[in-house]
Amino acid sequence: QLRDYQSLGIPFGVMMLDLDFFKLVNDQYGHNTGDEVLRMVAGTFQNAMRRNDFIGRWGGEEFVAILRGVTHLELRTIAEKICRLVEQSGLKRGEEYIRVTVSIGASIVLPEDTAVSIVQRADQALYQSKHDGRNRATLI
């Protein structure tokens, strides 16, 4: 994506997505259920994104997404949509639903960016979402 931006001027955004308080899910329901919750949330991510976007697991309960050809407003709209959809989804266990939320940090590529700098900026925005109360998207 960075090469396409530098040579063709096609902008892109990077989102870092992290499930809020996911350790509590594993502690309360076990790792197998935690894995099911991760799969459910990953499906929600994929359904919320456009066909040409990429999302993958970054590690643990954290994901990274690359959205090609987006504006700042479109990136914000997609990130906020993902927050709402995750919050509304749940995994049914007996009579209860296991629900999680997600915090998102995002950034649009800048002319001086490297692959490392844009990911670092999105990660800073993710930290800000966590600091500001979780279950939200922050763009910087």
Full 3-state SS string of 14-54: EEEEEECCHHHHHHHHCHHHHHHHHHHHHHHHHHHCCCCCE
Mean pLDDT across the stretch 31-53?
Answer: 92
User: For the chain, what is the mean pLDDT?
Assistant: 93
Number of neighbours of residue 123 by Cβ within 10 angstroms: 18
Q: Which pLDDT score, from 0 to 100, does residue 68 have?
A: 94
Residues annotated as part of the active site? 61
Place of tokens 């955004």: 13
pLDDT tens-digit readout, 91-108: 998 888 999 999 999 999
Residue 77 CA to residue 80 CA, distance in Å, equals: 5
Query: pLDDT above 70 covers what percent of the chain?
Result: 100
The string of pLDDT tens digits covering residues 106-139 is 999 999 999 999 999 999 999 999 999 999 999 9
Mean pLDDT of the 78-103 span: 94
